[in-house]
């Protein structure tokens, strides 16, 4: 019966080592299950924007813009953005460009004021803009198109809206709820730097250790039940 003391030792000491992480896995998993992902993404704050017809001379102005380009575009999108008709022009190499189709002028990269206006237009009950900051590097909070503007609002959710400087598009929404979710996600997958790597050695080691603890506990269960039956008898 040497197996029983060995399994007991494995179950006890590994359980002490991985126990805290198992609690974190369960707590964060419960949070992920209970909180709607749509609310985490602040989809309930999206403003309803009615479609706007483009002016008749849009295509004529677009033709003029295309003739001024330094290289052939890979994609051209005509839409309404920043409260005006625009052409978003992408290239095989280099940053995309945004043109005002009313004047033919290039408007990218957009200014801080334009980014704030785009963020306010995209968010319902946006309130007051607290700060606008230029972002040039990825962070755990934002990994979208760069450069970008971070537009922070003064509201209960401490919402921050990211607007891509080259396209004028809203690329991310971040609230305190999202930040809690992201912190718990980092704990859940044990990647505290980038918050996205499922394959860290630490996660693999703790997962295997937790599995071993569970298997040891299951193997011990018949012996523990037998011992209890004998004592009661």
Instruction: Tell me the pLDDT tens digit for each residue of 7-27.
Output: 566 656 666 677 788 888 889
Whole-angstrom Cα distance, residue 191 to residue 183?
10
Helical residues (DSSP H) of 123-200, grouped into ranges = 176-189
Length of the chain: 233
Q: Which token pair is 115?
A: 């980014």
- What residue numbers bound the domain in which 11 lies? 3-37+182-232
Whole-angstrom Cα distance, residue 123 to residue 9?
56
What is the pLDDT, as a whole number, of residue 125? 86
Per residue in 106-137, is it b (16+ CB within 10 Å) or e — as a string? ebbbbebebbbbbbbebbeebeebeebeebee
What is the pLDDT, as a whole number, of residue 175? 97
Mean pLDDT of 47-67: 79
Same domain, 141 and 77: yes
- Residue 193: asked if its preceding bond is cis (omega within 30°), the reply is no
Read off the pLDDT band of 33 (50, 70, 90).
very high
DSSP state of 4: H
Q: pTM for this structure?
A: 0.81
Residue 52 has pLDDT above 80, yes or no: no
Same domain, 148 and 74: yes
Same domain, 122 and 21: no
- Among 147, 174, 201, which residue terminates a domain? 174
- Among 156, 174, 192, which residue terminates a domain? 174
Whole-angstrom Cα distance, residue 64 to residue 41?
39
pLDDT tens-place string over residues 78-101 = 988 888 899 999 999 989 999 999
Same domain, 49 and 143: yes
What is the pLDDT, as a whole number, of residue 167? 96
Same domain, 59 and 170: yes
Provide the domain count of the chain. 2
Radius of gyration of the CA atoms of the chain, in A: 27
Whole-angstrom Cα distance, residue 228 to residue 233?
8
Residue 65 has pLDDT above 60, yes or no: yes
Read off the pLDDT band of 110 (50, 70, 90).
very high
Same domain, 66 and 160: yes
Compute how many other C-beta atoms are within 10 angstroms of the C-beta atom of residue 174: 21
Could you tell me which residues come within 8 angstroms of residue 141 by beta carbon, excluding any fewer than 6 positions away?
160, 174, 179, 182
Helical residues (DSSP H) of the chain, grouped into ranges = 3-34, 37-40, 58-67, 112-122, 176-189, 201-232
C-alpha torsion sign, points 182, 185, 186, 187: positive
**Region of poorest pLDDT, from 46-50, 142-146, 173-177, 224-228:** 224-228
Same domain, 90 and 142: yes
pLDDT, averaged across the chain? 85
More confident residue, 227 or 157: 157
Mean pLDDT of 150-177: 96
């Amino acid at each position: 019966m040497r197996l029983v003391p060995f399994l007991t030792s494995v179950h006890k000491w590994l359980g002490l080592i991985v126990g805290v992480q198992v609690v974190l896995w369960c707590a964060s998993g419960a949070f992920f299950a209970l909180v709607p992902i749509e609310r985490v993404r602040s989809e309930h704050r999206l403003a309803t924007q009615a479609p706007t017809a483009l002016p008749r001379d849009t295509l004529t102005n677009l033709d003029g813009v295309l003739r001024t380009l330094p290289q052939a575009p890979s994609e051209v999108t005509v839409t309404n953005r920043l409260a005006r008709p625009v052409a978003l022009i992408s290239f095989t190499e280099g940053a995309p460009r945004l043109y005002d189709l009313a004047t033919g002028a290039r408007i990218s990269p957009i200014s801080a004021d334009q980014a704030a206006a785009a963020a306010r237009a995209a968010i319902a009950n946006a309130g007051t803009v607290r700060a606008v900051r230029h972002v040039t590097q990825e962070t755990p909070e934002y990994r979208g198109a760069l450069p970008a503007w971070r537009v922070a609002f003064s509201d209960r959710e401490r919402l921050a809206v990211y607007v891509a400087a080259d396209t004028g598009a809203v690329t991310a929404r971040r609230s305190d709820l999202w930040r809690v979710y992201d912190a718990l996600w980092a704990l859940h997958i044990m990647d505290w730097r980038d918050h996205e790597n499922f394959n860290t050695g630490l996660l693999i080691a703790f997962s295997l250790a937790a599995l071993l603890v569970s298997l040891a506990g299951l193997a011990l269960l018949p012996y523990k039940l037998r011992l209890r039956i004998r004592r009661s008898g």
